[in-house]
Structure 1
Amino acid sequence: MNIILASNSPRRTQILTLAQIYHQVVPSACEETIAQNLEPYEVVESLSYQKAADVAKKYPNDIIIGADTIVVIDNQILGKPKNEQEAILMLEKLSAKTHHVITGITILSKNRCKTFHEITKVEIAQLSKQDITTYLKEENVYDKAGSYGIQGVFCKYITKIEGDYYNVMGLPIAKVYKELKEFNNEI
């Protein structure tokens, strides 16, 4: 039985590899649907399940990991920016404030399903317009929730973090590893 990551995220596969969790990458092709009036953690849990379930159709005998990450500030969900203007607005909103990064995870096998989430609190320094402009020239932000990656050049603007660092990168590895051990008798 193999472990399959239902994600295209290079950061998620990097984290699993770092933790020596050997896996294959098979991105989900499902059309993501979100029900109305869900709490942010319910949104990412639902999306992580949709991704895992989609890949499980093709790999029913394996263990599938689905994940989805969002940034939440002032009760507003920030996903991945669609364009530069959206990225600028997101970074201006995050400037000099604390926000939450929430990742939903689903681990799915033929006999089990576990869905959970992790929340990490992140504080960002004051960002000038020049900081934002320079950052957007230095980094591809279009694959990052909230328009930033903690592991890249943006690290110089992170003033405080409470919780799992790897969650901010897209995969709370300690929690994922703990849950995978519960599936151990199937591996």
Structure 2
Amino acid sequence: MLTLVLGSSSPRRKELLEMAGYNFTVRSAGIEEKIIGGSPEEVVRRLAEEKSRAISIRNNEVLLTADTVVVHGQRILGKPGDYEEAYNTLEELSGSVHEVLTAVTIRNSEEQSTLAVSTLVKFFSLTESEIQSYLECKEAWDKAGSYGIQGKGGLFVESIEGDYYSVVGLPLSRVVRELRKFGVLL
């Protein structure tokens, strides 16, 4: 019997896998995410693969790791370090389109697959008070791009082109299909 292992401490990824109906265990990679070199897609793929390599698995396990980045003008916007950085990021995204890239690595003891999903998100123009109010709710701090689409940050979204769940942190329909190839069924 195969055991699915989620290699992430993200509560959102955990919720999405539970919503899909998977039984799984959680094992976090605990690596420092370094955004260096390459295109945004290369960076997010590398981060998902590094997380995967940092976690050991047994023969009967299938490991899933993921990483999400927000890209605006080819610049990766990571998780904010402080209030000012979060404010500046949201101000930058205001009234414009940005890309959210989520990469997922799935592997067992014999093979590995990495996929990346791109979604375009357009924000309404935000006022200073909207940004300040949002930052007071403390939702921005552990999220790439300083917002969570599944929470109050979703109120900033004018439109989305692509996979909503990828913006949340796990492109679920693609993941389900990829896990089937590894023998993990619902």
Q: Determine if the TM-score, normalized by the shorter chain, exceeds 0.5.
A: yes
Amino acid in structure 1 at the alignment position of 2:19: L
Counterpart residue number, 1:184: 183
Counterpart residue number, 1:113: 112
Q: Deviations over 1:129-179 (max 9, x none)?
A: 100000001232111100000111122211100010000000000000010
Normalised TM-score (structure 1): 0.94
- RMSD of aligned residue pairs (Cα, Å): 1.6
| Map 1:161-172 → 2, pairs under 5 A | 161-172=160-171
1:2 maps onto 2:15 in alignment: no
| Map 1:86-97 → 2, pairs under 5 A | 86-97=85-96
| Map 1:132-143 → 2, pairs under 5 A | 132-143=131-142
Aligned-partner Cα distance in 1 for 2:35–2:159: 31
| Map 1:1-187 → 2, pairs under 5 A | 1-33=2-34, 35-36=36-37, 38-55=38-55, 57=56, 59-61=57-59, 62-184=61-183
Q: What's the secondary structure of 2:54's corresponding residue?
A: helix
Q: What's the secondary structure of 2:87's corresponding residue?
A: helix
Q: Show structure 2 runs of 5+ residues with no match.
A: none
Q: Deviations over 1:34-78 (max 9, x none)?
A: 552x110111111101111111x2x23211111000000011100
Aligned-partner Cα distance in 1 for 2:184–2:15: 25
> Given that residues 34 and 46 in structure 1 are in contact (C-alpha distance below 8 angstroms), is that contact kept between their aligned partners in structure 2?
no
Aligned-partner Cα distance in 1 for 2:40–2:181: 26
> Given that residues 53 and 108 in structure 1 are in contact (C-alpha distance below 8 angstroms), is that contact kept between their aligned partners in structure 2?
no
Aligned-partner Cα distance in 2 for 1:25–1:175: 20
The Cα of 1:185 is off from its aligned counterpart by 7.2
Q: What's the secondary structure of 1:184's corresponding residue?
A: coil
Normalised TM-score (structure 2): 0.94
Amino acid in structure 2 at the alignment position of 1:107: I
Aligned-partner Cα distance in 1 for 2:15–2:153: 18
Amino acid in structure 1 at the alignment position of 2:134: Y
**Identical-residue share of aligned pairs (%):** 39
Amino acid in structure 2 at the alignment position of 1:100: E
Aligned-partner Cα distance in 1 for 2:100–2:127: 22
Amino acid in structure 1 at the alignment position of 2:183: N
> Given that residues 179 and 185 in structure 2 are in contact (C-alpha distance below 8 angstroms), is that contact kept between their aligned partners in structure 1?
no
Higher helix share: 1
Further displaced range: 97-106 or 150-159: 150-159
Q: Show structure 1 runs of 5+ residues with no match.
A: none
> Given that residues 5 and 63 in structure 2 are in contact (C-alpha distance below 8 angstroms), is that contact kept between their aligned partners in structure 1?
yes
